[in-house]
Amino acid sequence: MAATAQAHLFEAEGLAASYGQVEALKPTSFHVADGELVTVLGPNGAGKTTLLRAATGLVPARGRIHFQGRDITGEPTHKLARHGVVMVQEGRGLFGQMTVKENLRLGAYTRDAGAVEQQLAIVFGLFPRLKERYMQVSSSLSGGEQQMLAIGRALMAAPKLLMLDEPSLGLAPRVAMEILETLGQLNKQGLGILLVEQKAPLALKLAKRVYVVSLGRIVAELAAHEIKSHHDLARYYLH
């Protein structure tokens, strides 16, 4: 399909996904603009992970997806990575018996050798601990370091849009903050980010916009700063 005028970086229209008979994500439309950080909030089981998985081809989905104005509906996850859409899954999805080096280099499979070194320097700049642990087996890293590695591996593909599923899960508050602040820094450099996060107050500090998901659908879309004036949402998400 031809590029549309004023296309968003990423646009999903009527995206829906089911597990067997259960429609975990009801037809849902959302977008991420160029250089925008958008956060997705919602209670456990609301469908946030399914939304990200449907958007990145990790579960079969209905609906349409455009990226930079191009119709990329139905393309598999590895092709989306080539376009610049990469997801960091909950639980990190690292290869535990592989070293930090091997995991990072796997993330760069779409890149040529020169670009790999350049991207590696960027990742080490963001996460110096990955440089210190470069030859270590990744299962020997702390939880925070493993999350840094998962994000670092995603960045090796030089994404234009990074989707993250609860990157702070299970981490000490200080480490979680460090990781979320790094995402804020990446966003300031122009990276589009779609962030599912339970630490809502932190995510809302970084985000420009927020989608609230409940029972498999987006029930609210608002500017992040507006949430404090919605008492029901503020009570739930700003404590």
Interface with ligand ATP (CB under 6 A): 19, 22, 24, 42, 44-50
Alpha helices in 14-157 (DSSP H): 48-55, 77-83, 100-107, 113-126, 128-132, 143-155
Q: Which two tokens stand for residue 46?
A: 């609301």
In 166-187, which positions are buried (b, 16+ CB within 10 angstroms) versus exposed (e)? bbbbebeeebbebbbebbbebb
Please state the closest distance from residue 64 (CB atom) to ligand ATP, in A: 20
Amino acid identity of 21?
Q
Please state the closest distance from residue 49 (CB atom) to ligand ATP, in A: 3
Identity of the residue, 10 or 211, whose beta carbon is nearer to ligand ATP in the bound complex: 211
- In the numeric block, the tokens 């092709």 are attached to 79
Taking the C-alpha atoms of residue 204 and residue 216, their distance in angstroms, rounded to an integer, is: 21
Taking the C-alpha atoms of residue 72 and residue 66, their distance in angstroms, rounded to an integer, is: 5
Pairing outcome for strands 209-214 and 37-41 = parallel
Please state the closest distance from residue 26 (CB atom) to ligand ATP, in A: 11
DSSP tag of 4: P
Please state the closest distance from residue 14 (CB atom) to ligand ATP, in A: 17
Please state the closest distance from residue 23 (CB atom) to ligand ATP, in A: 9
Task: Give kind and range of the element (H or E) at residue 67.
Answer: strand 62-67
Identity of the residue, 84 or 90, whose beta carbon is nearer to ligand ATP in the bound complex: 90
Identity of the residue, 42 or 57, whose beta carbon is nearer to ligand ATP in the bound complex: 42
Pairing outcome for strands 10-19 and 62-67 = antiparallel
Please state the closest distance from residue 233 (CB atom) to ligand ATP, in A: 16
Identity of the residue, 25 or 120, whose beta carbon is nearer to ligand ATP in the bound complex: 25
List of residues 6+ apart from 105 with CB closer than 8 A: 116, 156
Q: Which two tokens stand for residue 135?
A: 């030859």
Identity of the residue, 44 or 97, whose beta carbon is nearer to ligand ATP in the bound complex: 44
Identity of the residue, 42 or 107, whose beta carbon is nearer to ligand ATP in the bound complex: 42
Taking the C-alpha atoms of residue 153 and residue 137, their distance in angstroms, rounded to an integer, is: 14
Identity of the residue, 47 or 192, whose beta carbon is nearer to ligand ATP in the bound complex: 47
Please state the closest distance from residue 61 (CB atom) to ligand ATP, in A: 12
